[in-house]
Chains A and B, each alone.
Chain A
């Protein structure tokens, strides 16, 4: 009796990994999915936090893809291990703080360990040659296979015909002719294939699934590293960089100001861990203060808080500052005029 071959697919939640998985499933291979949580994932977070997204159905696309394909999905928390990739990428960063090539090597390496531990035969990714400027190029594809240790147990079904034969093809577990030769940044072939496979609903290709590819996010992370003089971070640190308006009016502290009720509710969850500022005389969102904040900083911070409250046009607003020490400061201040909120304060 022929042994049932098994593969694990790296499922991002996007169309490419969905198509790659479907092609391999259709060849009779048992496939399970794996999804890595780095803490920088765009997936779900902004939906969970912001009001503007409240009308959208909140779904995790990786889970949704697994459900559509009828496969198991293993979500793996790699937040701690991933720090080294973000802080010390051997192959450097992309346009922002995105260590895409190191990230891909790391994830395939983790998947390779997973197939060894779980007695699976090979790994599938939705990579396409030329799709991404850093990690998905003809020159970098062999680097991922080699540095991860997966070697010829790494199959990229969407562009396999453009690459050397892999173990699953050589052993006849899967027919090379059933695999594809897609290359480049275009999406038309993937969209046509989705139609052919009766896949009608899928996440639209976005700018990326990782906040590290985003300039505004990367700028906030750089600011955090520079002001702390240390690149270490916690999950809360990197989550808070996704939320609110960040202003650094003085080098020693930063204000995180909610932009809507959803963000306000999210920041409320952190109020015991930070000095907080709240305008009490007018509707306003909670502000978190990060850094070494002292009473001498209170006046300026309270005036800025007034600016971002609904009392911004009032002559005076009442502001309560709860220091991390437990001390409470109550101030009456004139809200800062818009022109006095300096552009360089925005992180």
Chain B
């Protein structure tokens, strides 16, 4: 298991989802990906994308203007 980060600030949906999807393609099952976003749409879209593609959203946190989504990569 390894930890990875993705900066998707300033991007509006679906770009943060696309960047997350493309990043996860290169990761291994059980890896953790932390995505930094600013578009509130990610609160619905990243969990929806994770659910249909077999990944798990561990948390959604807020820090200043950032929305920080932590994902555990699934076995797909």
Contacts and interface: CB of A to CB of B under 8 A. Distances in A.
Interface string B16-29: 01100110000000
A37 B17 CA distance: 11
Contacts of A187: none
B45 A67 contact: no
Given A60-B41, A77-B18, A44 B48 contact: no
Contacts of B41: 44, 47-48, 58-60
Interface string A58-85: 1110111011001111111100000000
Nearest to A235: B15
Interface in B9-50: 9-10, 12-15, 17-18, 21-22, 38-41, 43-45, 48-49
Contacts of B51: 67
Interface in A71-112: 71-77
A57 interface: yes
Given A44-B41, A48-B41, A58-B40, A63 B10 contact: no
Given A47-B41, A57-B44, A58-B40, A73 B52 contact: yes
B49 A63 contact: yes
B12 A59 contact: no
B14 A43 contact: yes
B6 to A, nearest CB: 14
A84 B73 CA distance: 35
Contacts of B59: none
Contacts of B12: 44-45, 48-49, 239, 266
Contacts of A71: 52
Contacts of A251: none
Interface string A31-43: 0000101000101
A60 B10 contact: no
Main secondary structure of the interface of B (DSSP, over half): helix
Among the interface residues A63, A66, A67, A73, which one has the most CB atoms of the partner chain B within 10 A? A63
A44 B13 CA distance: 6
A48 B49 contact: no
Among the interface residues A47, A59, A75, which one has the most CB atoms of the partner chain B within 10 A? A75
A229 interface: no
A73 B13 contact: no
A72 B53 contact: yes
A67 B52 contact: yes
A41 B13 CA distance: 10
B53 A60 contact: no
B75 to A, nearest CB: 14
A114 to B, nearest CB: 14
A60 B18 contact: no
A250 B43 CA distance: 41
Among the interface residues B10, B13, B18, B40, which one has the most CB atoms of the partner chain A within 10 A? B13
B12 to A, nearest CB: 4
A172 interface: no
A47 B41 CA distance: 8
Contacts of A62: 14
A269 interface: yes
Given A44-B45, A48-B39, A48-B41, A37 B18 contact: yes
B45 to A, nearest CB: 5
Contacts of B43: 58
Contacts of B53: 72-73
Contact of A48 (B13, B21, B48, B52): B13
Given A45-B12, A71-B52, A63 B18 contact: no
A48 B43 CA distance: 11
A43 B45 CA distance: 12
Given A63-B45, A77-B15, 6 more contacts: A44-B14, A44-B45, A48-B40, A58-B13, A58-B41, A75-B18
